[in-house]
Amino acid sequence: MPAALVDTDGVRLTVDDAVATVSLSRPEKRNAQTPAMWRALTEAGRAIPGDVRIAVLRGEGASFSAGLDRQAFTPEGFDGEPSFLDLARGSDADLDAVIAEYQEAFTWWRRNDLVTIAAVQGHAVGAGFQLALACDLRVCADDAQFAMRETSLGLVPDLTGTKPLVGLVGYARALEICATGRTVHAAEAERTGLANLVVPVAELDAAVADLSAALLAAPRNAVVETKALLAAAASRSDEEQRIAERAAQGRRLRDLAGLGD
């Protein structure tokens, strides 16, 4: 097994050639998330070598992630961390800055130089659901169960999951999923576009490896440019997208002709 580049606070990063694997490593807690884990996820994103093309996110044990560790809502919180109750008593600016720091763990997965895959088994609840949504693609075991439980706690999904969820399943279904907090099972996830692929639990790792190999088959720069085009398509007009396509293709043709920068 490759040596871990990051192994702290419930997060382990290993690299095998062009594929990085980020593992949530608190199986005894169903990979429940903490602020320390979020900082470690941010550290993992920064530690991925430049020649890596695929980043796989997985959870150790039976669950991908059961969401936020409920200890965050107790008066004592976590050792060395302000409790969420203490954060609520701070200024608006301080609270905004803390949440922005937490969000960094969920944003780097969308970088254009990586294709990111969430390998989801068991529960992906709340922050776990949003972490799966942070990735470009989701390969799910047939026991996967997604749920956005924030509203049942009097909260909102604030870890960057709302925009990708609407993009995948549409506004009406996203609202219904979030407002009710109900469970979305693997079959529905595949039917609605939330999951790219659903396989038996025993085949999850092999399916992710097969997808990674297929993604690595095309030249890196072509995939990077294509991801950038698709990621920005929804925010551009038709004409803006056509201009972007022409510019990207021009770069690719010059590169293939040996005329790139």
Give yes or no: residues 40 and 115 share one domain. Answer: yes
The confidence score (pLDDT) of residue 1 equals 72
Residue 164 counted as domain residue: yes
Give yes or no: residues 232 and 209 share one domain. Answer: no
Q: How many domains does the chain have?
A: 2
Residue 261 counted as domain residue: no
List the domain range (segments joined by +) for residue 251: 220-256
Successive 10-residue mean pLDDT values, the chain, 261 residues: 92 98 98 97 98 98 96 84 86 95 98 98 98 98 98 95 98 98 98 98 98 98 98 97 98 93 67
Residue 185: phi and psi, rounded to 5, are -80, 170
* pLDDT tens-digit readout, 84-129: 888 889 999 999 999 999 999 999 999 999 999 999 999 999 999 9
Side by side, the strands of the sheet bearing 4-8 are 4-8, 11-16, 19-24, 54-59, 115-120, 137-141, 197-199
The confidence score (pLDDT) of residue 53 equals 98
Give yes or no: residues 135 and 157 share one domain. Answer: yes
Give yes or no: residues 128 and 249 share one domain. Answer: no
Residue 3: phi and psi, rounded to 5, are -65, 145
**C-alpha neighbours within 13 Å on the C-beta side of residue 135:** 26
Give yes or no: residues 134 and 245 share one domain. Answer: no
The confidence score (pLDDT) of residue 80 equals 84
Residue 33 counted as domain residue: yes
The confidence score (pLDDT) of residue 261 equals 67
| In contact, 53 and 9? CB cutoff 8 Å | no
Give yes or no: residues 130 and 211 share one domain. Answer: yes
The confidence score (pLDDT) of residue 105 equals 98
Give yes or no: residues 227 and 172 share one domain. Answer: no
CATH number reported for the structural domain that contains residue 49 in this entry:
3.90.226.10
Give yes or no: residues 248 and 168 share one domain. Answer: no
Backbone CA torsion sign across 65, 69, 70, 72: negative
Q: Which helix (H) or strand (E) holds 6?
A: strand 4-8
